[in-house]
Amino acid sequence: MRKFTAIMRKYGNQTYDRATGAPTMPDGTIPKRFQHIDDDGMAPPGTPLENGMIYMYKQTPVDTMNEVSNPNAGPWRNVPMAYKFPDKGYVDKVLITNSEADQTLVKFLMRQTRRPELGDKFSSRHGQKGVCGIIVQQEDMPFTDRGIYPDIIMNPHGFPSRMTVGKLMEFVASKAGAIKGELQYGTCFGGSKMEDMCRILVEHGFSYTGKDYVTSGITGEPVGAYIFNGATYYQRLKHMVADKMHARARGPRAVLTRQPTEGRSRDGGLRLGEMEKDCLIGYGASMLLLERLMISSDVFEVHVCEKCGYIGYKGWCQMCRSSKMMVPIKIPYACKLLFQELQSMNILPRLVMEDI
């Protein structure tokens, strides 16, 4: 479930935001992106949405400052709200309410049905969290001599350092409770005693340690050790791969530095950080460093005077009043910006040119 909010404001000159019906093409048809919009400008609950489809068609007045004779006349600027997920979703609920400042608040609750996939995060009740590393068919899972196969296999190296003994106690108590058909309290704060739980296991033909004889589902041979298993409670956390997946080739850039924007929501760049930079330096991949830190980021061509070392403009040196000694070089735009900010504080950086 995910919530999206839209605010319908009222402005000082009596104009206001509005939600209106879907726009039409010159031939009278409605574009595919807008086909789910009702006359009130919103997609009703139960609407299936795909990536790029509009769930609210909002319009904002162009002039919100000056007095207007007719607030309904416009002109209007279209501000459609689009569904931006790769997977299909549904409008679950639509809530319309008024806030304190005489503003209308519209909330959309979106619903998606997702199957667990590689990289999705799970956790037990003891803080033993981890991501799904592999999904295999049931016939390839190991199984006990009673034909029971596990739903989740956890790496046992998570126990010594984390010391989550309560999880082991939950395993044994829940296994004993499932076998006997009684409610047990698998907690390390009182609850069912381990001695009693082990006794129940032994009485029903299981090992008191909670371990079982296991056969490999792939080879059909017995696994070389007894495997500790039992029933435990797992929950799926909200950190899912579908929400974190991000890639970019070209995209928006920041106005000031001309470098790619930051963050997945703004279609940002994939940052090569300080530690990755150190790895490339240690490897000696100098051209890859140049490409990632300058060419793929904010490469910029400037003209530099060989005589005085200052940056000129299109082959003309403002300091020397000459164009004879100017050479073009490529530097990061952020570097050029730094030089100009230093010059604004009466610090004049010089570039010393050298033949390679």
Residues 6 and 100 in one domain: yes
pLDDT of 74 higher than 90: no
Could you tell me the CA-to-CA distances from 156 to 127, 164, 233, 249 in Å, in that order? 14, 11, 17, 40
Least confident of 12-26, 159-173, 216-230, 283-297: 12-26
Which pLDDT tens digit goes with each residue over 146-155? 999 999 999 9
- Which amino acid is located at 165 in the chain? V
pLDDT bracket for residue 108 (50, 70, 90) = very high
- Position 314 in a domain: yes
Residue 64's CATH number = 2.40.50.150
pLDDT of 287 higher than 90: yes
Higher-confidence residue of 344 and 191: namely 344
- Position 66 in a domain: yes
Residues 146 and 200 in one domain: yes
- Position 241 in a domain: no
Instruction: Using a pLDDT cut of 70, give the percent of the chain over it.
Output: 100
Residues 258 and 337 in one domain: no
pLDDT bracket for residue 84 (50, 70, 90) = confident
- When pLDDT is averaged across residues 283-303 and rounded to a whole number, the result is 94
- When pLDDT is averaged across residues 224-235 and rounded to a whole number, the result is 94
Residue in the structure block whose two tokens are 């904010």: 298
- Position 16 in a domain: yes
What does the pLDDT read at residue 323? 82
- Position 116 in a domain: no
Instruction: Using a pLDDT cut of 90, give the percent of the chain over it.
Output: 65
What does the pLDDT read at residue 200? 95
Which pLDDT tens digit goes with each residue over 47-57? 999 999 999 99
Residues 343 and 309 in one domain: yes
- Number of domains forming the structure of the chain: 4
Expressed as residue numbers, the domain containing 266 is 246-297
- Position 73 in a domain: yes
Residues 157 and 200 in one domain: yes
Q: Are strands 143-144 and 211-212 parallel, antiparallel or unpaired?
A: unpaired
Residue 305's CATH number = 3.90.1800.10
Which pLDDT tens digit goes with each residue over 10-39? 888 888 888 888 888 888 888 888 888 988
Residues 146 and 253 in one domain: no
CB half-sphere exposure, 4, CA atoms < 13 A: 18
CA 272 – CA 279 distance, rounded (Å):
10
Residues 7 and 103 in one domain: yes
